[in-house]
Structure 1
Amino acid sequence: MPISGCIAGRRRHAAVIAAAVICSTLFTGPDLAPAAAPSPSVPAPQLDWRPCVQDSRFDCATTKVPLDYRSPGRRTIELAVVKRKATGPGRRIGTLFFNPGGPGGPGTVQMPELYESFPRQVRERFDIVSWDPRGVGNSTAVNCFDSPGEADAWRAGNPVGFPVGERQRTTWIDAYKDLARRCRQRDPELLRHVSTADTARDLDQLRQAVGDPQLSYLGTSYGSFLGATYANLFPGKVRAMTLDSNIDPLAWTNHASDSDPRLPLFLRMGTDLGAAATLDRFLALCGSTTTDRCAFSAGGPKATRAKFDQLMQRLREHPLGEWTYGGTVGDVVNGLYTVHPGWTSLADRLQDLWQGRVPEQSSPPPPSPSPFPLPYLGDEQAGAVLCSDSPGPRDPGAYHALEEASSTRAGDVGRFWTWAAAPCATWPAEAANRYTGPWDHPTAHPVLVVGTTYDPATPYPDAQAMAKELANARLLTHNGYGHTALTNPSSCVKEYESRYFVDGTLPPAGATCQQDTPPFPAPKPHGGIATGGGGTAGIAS
């Protein structure tokens, strides 16, 4: 969505901008045709790179692309693009494009923030380029409010996390009806042209602009679905593509044969189940250690689980200040995304709530200088992509029953992930140019799929599905926790990715890596941290 998929750490945004994706919608009309038909030829855009004013280590550019690739001579929109040049003099291979997910993740903000997380060899051999996708951030953006204050006022009236009780459900539904009305009035044409297929065509334009004959790409979270779309629209242009923390393409398009098409996206993906499994591991590992390592520990896994359930029931009946039941569950889901320091900080907040204290909102570390100005990132930017692109239930009144069903199979986090999709029930636009498959066009080179076994947003079975559905893909299993291997690092995964990007070498079939540092590690005698081993799966150190 801290969260590689998108900017989602804020509790107030938890249900709407959660790292993977935010919402889904089911249109009552016929399914839109695949977008594989050739578009008119469009000249490559020009990238006038200049050192970024706010951080000269990066280069910045803006360029124009067609709003509608089927009518490229009409309206154009702007894309904001950022680059960090390869650091190895004379060893540059080309450009690696990066999409941080979301949808709605601004690459001009998140690539610089995450730059040091890229494998060293990749930073040495590739220029790393990212961009704010159409509709987002510093690019031509969906913005349905006249001022930041108006957006803040709209947001302040909504329940935090997800609605609890009939009154809050009514408030929630009415708020998103109002948002849909505002968006329809502002720029309805833009709303119809921010699909994943549109962005995949932008990506190919950017590839041409940097002069690479084929694409090298890393996509995390929603960026995996963008990568899969590109790979099937432009299969001959794939040089190397790593998809980290995956969305099952058939779940996104609502074409999976083994899921209920009446479910919203996250329940089709099994996100509620993945989040529940990750929460279970958090509580079990916390309960298996001491309170100096995990403050919420009750001395055993079962006791810690019972303590958590009691806390949730207490907050449901008696919120503690602004810490409501819905808001706390949203905070729990977001807190599971990044193991270090996320899990320890989450345990501290839960223990404060258990003891009747309002948790202190710890000051985040000062942000790295952003090459571009920090943009407006409203809920409607993520929604504009997902709501017009991924079918789901269109009746807002259906979500309460869906919530109850999901809570039966996934507990509290099932309620969160059900309502995360509900804003799309009243979204006003359908994508004019969706891609709905097929997903098995043979690519020029194989794709590397990375899946983390305990991922609270994009569950491991979705990575297995992605590897199966693509024509030529290799699955690398990351035995660990959190959302994306990029932000929950494994030196083993980084080594495999480096070899793959540099010379095309895939991991062996069935390869498995371990996370470098497990949750709640024991301090070493001399002040270091016992990591428990990184698990190199046969890779030489």
Structure 2
Amino acid sequence: MTAARRHARRWGALLGVLALTVSLGSTTASASPSDRTDRTSRAEAARVDRVPVPDPQWFDCSSAFGERTQCGTVQLPLDYDQPRKATTDVALLKLSVADPSRKIGTLFINPGGPGGSGVQIAAAASFFLSPALLERFDVVGVDPRGTNFSSNVRCFRNLGEQATGLAGLMVPFPVGDAETGAYVASSKAFGAACSTTGTPLSGSMSTAEVARDMDVLRRMVGDKKLTYLGFSYGSYLGNVYANLFPDRVRAVVIDGVLDPLAWAGTPENAGIPQTQRLKSGEGASKALDEVLARCAAAGPEFCLLAGLGDPATVYAEIVASLKENPILVTDDEGNPLFEITYAVLISVLLSDLYAPEGSSWVDQDLTYVHSLQHPTDADLTALRAAFVGRYQALHGPDREGTAAPSGWPYDNSPEAFQSVLCTDGLNPAAAEEWIPASASADAVAPGFGPLWTWASAPCASSTWTVRDEDAYTGPFTRRTAAPVLVVGNYWDPATNYEGAVAAAGLLPRSSLLSSDSWGHTAYGTSACVTDAVDTYLLSGQTPAAGTVCTGDVQPFTDPLGSEPGPQSRGAAPARPLPPVVPPLPGAVPRS
């Protein structure tokens, strides 16, 4: 696997800009006296309603995506202020209801990212959505402009240039002067490339543009109002839509919620990097601390790490040792595979925490690393295989140092993520400002703080200079025609539960559903959450105020067997979880 492809995995997996006056009016809080907070503004209505209803020319794609799927492509304005000029192709997939006579409407769905494929999550809908939803809604997934099967943004002329330009970003986060210097240099190169070669598409990929696309597509499918289910970054898309088009909301669910003021930024917090403002590092650190505490309480019968001493102390010792002496992992012939550095360990642990059963994986992975630092005669073959597998899922299976041929097919997933992140949010001016920001993040969320904070370094405003004058900067307080259902998970390592609380506090008609569950997002982790979301989407009925669900999978409730492995889900739903894409480069979607 080439360096660029490793980077694509890392950056493909995870944040408005300054408000500018445009010909149709601003997308900020200002509005004409006749505009009301519970209605789509005249400016916004003019942007989207004058666009002709597109024809996707649906074709049968069931051989590739499964029964009752149709695919299509529409051309939508690159700039909604100039709808008759340049367009961009947007790809769609529709999973149709089996019995059209029972259809309520269309459920639009987004998996997160930014940059996750709506086409692919819609294709998987029959596996993770409840039968009740599939019987009453067509499900439509949209690949956001610039990404996946839609027209692709490209910031470099070829894959070789991309690999060279982004070489410094090939670590989970930089440690030491050499890595930090390389990371800063590549962040600047990334911003400059997307502000030149990547234009004009890189400057037209804000979440507001995708929300406008979705409103045009809502008209295309014949729905008077939008029904939507968005995960992770998809929560921000749903939030922006609800605030741009408040009277066009039928039912909007946002699960795994980003604090909208942290994502977009305000004049008060613009000096803090976007991915630090979200407090995702704090959420991940809180989740790991709780796993270690529950491991200690459960004891060695339930948790391997507890048999080595106090789990929090053992973890601190592992970290201290790795910072001084990284561990080289070799294959069966003794050839080097990769190095376990402190940063690598943090990235693996974060990947573990994305899953409801992640506590078991944390236990396995820390036990394995401890065994490398303190060799024993125990058979750790299974633990080794699991750790290597998770490392390779994050970083690729091959050894470092292979250059990317420039003629290979271009993978734009780094640009797909970054063009939304940087176009949406305010950020400090220079990439060097991420150095002290990372240090302050590390003080409150060791390891996880820097991992999240550095992700937005390419967004430094002096090098990422391309802007979308129609990006949404707020407000996030519009009164929607129907309540928005906000779902937050206490132990989410990617979208801090505080984000759900903040979003619900801003939206006047929202309903907050809390979940004492593990992993990233909550739909599918318990019948309580799933039934509440389904009921709302079907009928508009929100759960009772103050409802708190409990995830079916909780840490260390099953005794360890003869072979350590993920714990069973006693009352877990029979369906898989949705394939959510966390808002961080290198994040591995849960399965």
TM over 0.5: yes
Counterparts of 1:108-507 in structure 2, within 5 Å, are 108-113=119-124, 115-148=126-159, 150-152=161-163, 155=166, 157-255=168-266, 260-289=269-298, 294-298=303-307, 303-321=310-328, 322-340=339-357, 342-356=358-372, 359-361=387-389, 376-425=411-460, 426-486=463-523, 489-507=525-543
Q: Decide which structure has the larger Cα Rg and report it.
A: 2
1:160, CA displacement in angstroms?
1.4
Aligned partner letter, 1:381: A
Match of 2:52 in 1: 43
| Inter-CA distance 15–268: structure 2 relative to 1 (3 Å threshold) | farther
Q: Which whole-Å CA distance do the structure 1 matches of 2:119 and 2:430 have between them?
A: 36
1:88, CA displacement in angstroms?
5.2
On the 8 A contact 2:172/2:451 being kept in 1, the answer is yes
On the 8 A contact 1:478/1:513 being kept in 2, the answer is yes
Match of 1:34 in 2: 27
SS at match of 2:79: coil
On the 8 A contact 1:290/1:299 being kept in 2, the answer is no
Farther off after superposition, 135-144 or 51-60: 51-60
SS at match of 1:478: strand
Which structure 2 residue ranges, 5 or more long, are not aligned? Answer: 29-40, 329-338, 374-383, 394-408, 574-591
Aligned partner letter, 2:413: G
On the 8 A contact 1:45/1:209 being kept in 2, the answer is yes
Match of 2:378 in 1: none
Aligned partner letter, 2:77: P
1:214, CA displacement in angstroms?
0.8
Alignment partner of 1:67 is 2:96: no
SS at match of 2:340: coil
Alignment partner of 1:508 is 2:544: yes
SS at match of 1:95: strand
| Inter-CA distance 441–185: structure 2 relative to 1 (3 Å threshold) | closer
On the 8 A contact 1:25/1:392 being kept in 2, the answer is no
TM-score (norm 1): 0.85
On the 8 A contact 1:95/1:128 being kept in 2, the answer is yes
On the 8 A contact 1:514/1:534 being kept in 2, the answer is no
SS at match of 2:64: coil
| Inter-CA distance 26–305: structure 2 relative to 1 (3 Å threshold) | farther
SS at match of 1:266: helix
Q: Which whole-Å CA distance do the structure 1 matches of 2:285 and 2:307 have between them?
A: 19
Farther off after superposition, 172-181 or 125-134: 172-181
1:398-446, Cα deviation, whole Å (9 max, x unpaired): 2121111111111121121221222212323222211112222221111
Farther off after superposition, 289-298 or 111-120: 289-298
1:272-298, Cα deviation, whole Å (9 max, x unpaired): 211111111122233334567544444
SS at match of 2:465: coil
| Inter-CA distance 323–67: structure 2 relative to 1 (3 Å threshold) | same
On the 8 A contact 1:14/1:160 being kept in 2, the answer is no
Alignment partner of 1:54 is 2:64: yes
1:117-145, Cα deviation, whole Å (9 max, x unpaired): 22221122111111110111111121223
1:327, CA displacement in angstroms?
2.2
Q: Which whole-Å CA distance do the structure 1 matches of 2:104 and 2:308 have between them?
A: 53
Aligned partner letter, 1:462: G
SS at match of 1:380: helix
SS at match of 2:502: helix
| Inter-CA distance 13–483: structure 2 relative to 1 (3 Å threshold) | farther
Aligned partner letter, 2:324: E
Farther off after superposition, 436-445 or 160-169: 436-445
Q: Which whole-Å CA distance do the structure 2 matches of 1:157 and 1:435 have between them?
A: 31
On the 8 A contact 1:13/1:160 being kept in 2, the answer is no
Q: Which whole-Å CA distance do the structure 2 matches of 1:520 and 1:170 have between them?
A: 42
Aligned partner letter, 1:347: D
| Inter-CA distance 450–170: structure 2 relative to 1 (3 Å threshold) | same
TM-score (norm 2): 0.79
1:377, CA displacement in angstroms?
4.5
Aligned partner letter, 1:109: Q
On the 8 A contact 1:449/1:467 being kept in 2, the answer is yes
Which structure 1 residue ranges, 5 or more long, are not aligned? Answer: 1-9, 365-373, 536-541
Aligned partner letter, 1:279: L
On the 8 A contact 2:16/2:471 being kept in 1, the answer is no
Q: Which whole-Å CA distance do the structure 1 matches of 2:475 and 2:279 have between them?
A: 22
Farther off after superposition, 262-271 or 110-119: 110-119
Q: Which whole-Å CA distance do the structure 1 matches of 2:439 and 2:60 have between them?
A: 52
Alignment partner of 1:93 is 2:104: yes
Q: Which whole-Å CA distance do the structure 2 matches of 1:152 and 1:87 have between them?
A: 46
1:87, CA displacement in angstroms?
4.0
SS at match of 1:90: helix
Match of 1:539 in 2: none
On the 8 A contact 2:88/2:151 being kept in 1, the answer is yes
Q: Which whole-Å CA distance do the structure 2 matches of 1:476 and 1:285 have between them?
A: 24
Q: Which whole-Å CA distance do the structure 2 matches of 1:155 and 1:92 have between them?
A: 47
Q: Which whole-Å CA distance do the structure 2 matches of 1:14 and 1:410 have between them?
A: 24
Q: Which whole-Å CA distance do the structure 2 matches of 1:230 and 1:183 have between them?
A: 26
| Inter-CA distance 347–144: structure 2 relative to 1 (3 Å threshold) | farther
1:14-53, Cα deviation, whole Å (9 max, x unpaired): 87456xx4xx5987x9899426633341111112221214
| Inter-CA distance 356–151: structure 2 relative to 1 (3 Å threshold) | farther
Farther off after superposition, 145-154 or 230-239: 145-154
Q: Which whole-Å CA distance do the structure 1 matches of 2:85 and 2:279 have between them?
A: 41
On the 8 A contact 1:476/1:512 being kept in 2, the answer is yes
